[in-house]
Structure 1
Amino acid sequence: MSVLLRLASLLALLVVGAGLRTGGVLDDRRADWLNDAAYYVALPALIFVSTYSRSVSEILSPVLVVGVFVVFFGTAVVAFVVHRRHDASARRSVATVQSYHSNLGYLGVPLVAATFDDHVTAIASAILGMVSLVQIPLTVFVLSTINGADTTLRNELRRILTTPVLIALVAGLGVGSLGIPVPGAVAGGLDLVGQFALPLALLCVGSSLEIDLPAVDYGAVAGVVGLKILVMPTLAWAVFSTLHADTATFTAGVVMFATPTAVSTFVFANELGGDEAFASLNVFLTTLVSMGSLFVFLTVLG
């Protein structure tokens, strides 16, 4: 029941975020403030607190690294094959990237932190860091190549390497590996700030969700939802089981890859010639459907 109540509260926050945006309370300026608070303050604090007391060897096991990249690139390959039949490049490119591009930062790590212990959260933070290094460059490459858009991967890589999330992860692992003491007051303050990561992120996601129903391509939408919400976490389950991952690694891997399509894919689609309405609808539906699928995975994982 606790899992059901937790997910119901997550859905409620998404609805509140959407309602505040529709009612004009969260206009563009306020939504940006909320997004900055989550992205630059709460989420980095959560990641640092979950990793600063642990060394790299405790978190980054060979099983984790191999499992993460097998699941990520395996899903990406399946997405290329499944969506190659679409004639419209703008839709094909979006369908492909939204089938593997997960909302690991705004939903994944905060959800794991709210549900499991610090060790699982630390592993989830490492997954976020590893996948971020390949997820965004691959998405930019796919969209720009298929749509003939003009962009540079160098700028995207520079932006990734300077993100607060990755900096917080490196700082936390560095402090933990070197055994640098963190004052209790500092750790407690960061822990308190980090607890706001999930509600802030959900309000941000909710305020950004949009639906455009007039021209729905049901087959393409079903393909994206099926790959992202069912195939990717199922593949994660199979891969980490085959690799005999420990319980914490298995749990973090499955839950992180069970998250919906990232809202940022809509932004990338808008900038790089993708189908914006199609991208927006997929973000909304994968987020909505993931509430049910995450309930199943969290219940089974305990």
Structure 2
Amino acid sequence: MSDIAMALAPILVLILIGYSLKRSHFLPDDAWSGMEKLTYFVLFPALLVRTLGNQSLAGAPWSAMLLVVVGTLLLAAALLIAWRQFGAAVDGATFTSIFQGGVRFNTYIALAVAQAFFVVDGLAMGAVTAGFMIVLINLLCISAFAVWGTRSRKGWKPIIRDVIGNPLILACALGWLLSLSGIGVPGIAEDILEIIGRAALPFGLLAVGAALKPEAVRGHIGPILVSSIIQFGLKPTATALLIVVTGLSGVPAGALAICFMVPTAPSAYILARQLGGDTAAMASIITFQTLLAFLVMPFIALLLL
């Protein structure tokens, strides 16, 4: 347990610093939204391109990892949709927030924990896992908005356009292309991406802290409860079972377990605001899950890592 606490402590401290700086008005509010945008569109894509581009899948159990990712995410999505269809008393906008709260994952926390536990190999396998998850999660969530969001758009063309234009999906696609082609990240580009990507995790964690709104939790207990049961109960359990079934072990299994034990992503709030979700419920879910994660993750990690 002490090893788990030591791995999580720096992450929690950065999140608390972000929260304290936002509440003390150390920076203007526009600075925080700018930091979030910079991280989402520049810093984190640079980290993904460099990590995936230099990651050779030769000998890596990527097919088994992909099976675990797809199986866990589709199960979570199917159960949430079944819950909505068979009598859940929530409107469509609120459901999209519950859906994101149960399906999305906080990539910043996941990769920071994977690196803390398994160092360079952890970051590499975490990036591979994240690369698989980001594409499928965005497809699932944008599809949910198309069906239940208040700004839903008819047809698949807008959905496909939103998925293809996602900066994280573009970064994953470029990283996989460089890796699978054998080119890797060439020359000075690696040094540039390494410097830029190095800022992604600390900036991302500070932005997570700044986005916390404890005062918003009250009044959204139902959505918080449903999404958190899926996030911290169903997904880690399904992941553990699929890891056993596929025979995975070591760092790949550890990276998968970590990616499926973290809270939902702060970027879910941005998507809720843009595509017609319940932003108040989304802010409550993000805040509660982020705080709850540091209580339950040590116990999940103790069981799975």
Instruction: Give secondary structure in 1 for the equivalent of 2:214.
Output: coil
For 2:32, the aligned partner's letter is A
Q: Which residue of 2 aligns with 1:286?
A: 289
Q: Quote the sequence identity (%).
A: 20
Once superposed, what is the RMSD of the aligned Cα atoms?
Answer: 2.8
Of 274, 295, 298, the match for 2:298 = 295
1:115-150: per-residue Cα shift (whole Å, max 9, x none)?
A: 324334233223222222222232232234234533
Q: Taking structure 1 as reference, are residues 166 and 150 closer, same or farther at Cα in structure 2, changes over 3 Å only? A: closer
For 2:151, the aligned partner's letter is A
Deviation at 1:298, TM superposition (A): 3.8
Q: Which residue of 1 aligns with 2:251?
A: 248
Which TM-score applies when normalising by structure 1?
A: 0.85
Q: Which residue of 1 aligns with 2:79?
A: 78
Q: Which residue of 2 aligns with 1:174?
A: 177
Q: Taking structure 1 as reference, are residues 108 and 156 closer, same or farther at Cα in structure 2, changes over 3 Å only? A: farther
1:152-179: per-residue Cα shift (whole Å, max 9, x none)?
A: 6534533443444334434444334444
Deviation at 1:204, TM superposition (A): 0.9
Q: Taking structure 1 as reference, are residues 118 and 155 closer, same or farther at Cα in structure 2, changes over 3 Å only? A: farther
Whether 2:127 is the aligned partner of 1:149: answer no
1:18-70: per-residue Cα shift (whole Å, max 9, x none)?
A: 22222223334211332244234432333234333333444462212221110
Of 142, 151, 157, the match for 1:140 = 142
Q: Taking structure 1 as reference, are residues 163 and 290 closer, same or farther at Cα in structure 2, changes over 3 Å only? A: same
1:71-109: per-residue Cα shift (whole Å, max 9, x none)?
A: 0000111222345533231333322332112223x3223
Q: Taking structure 1 as reference, are residues 81 and 276 closer, same or farther at Cα in structure 2, changes over 3 Å only? A: same
For 2:52, the aligned partner's letter is T
Deviates further, 8-17 or 170-179: 170-179
Which TM-score applies when normalising by structure 2?
A: 0.84
Deviates further, 174-183 or 78-87: 174-183
Q: Which residue of 1 aligns with 2:113?
A: 111
Structure 2 distance, partners of 1:271, 1:295, is 34
Q: Taking structure 1 as reference, are residues 151 and 221 closer, same or farther at Cα in structure 2, changes over 3 Å only? A: same
Structure 2 distance, partners of 1:7, 1:138, is 29
Q: Which residue of 2 aligns with 1:262?
A: 265
The number of equivalent residue pairs is 301
Unaligned stretches of 5+ residues in structure 1: none
For 1:51, the aligned partner's letter is L
Deviation at 1:300, TM superposition (A): 4.7
Of 214, 226, 239, the match for 1:223 = 226
Unaligned stretches of 5+ residues in structure 2: none
1:241-264: per-residue Cα shift (whole Å, max 9, x none)?
A: 111124232111111111211122
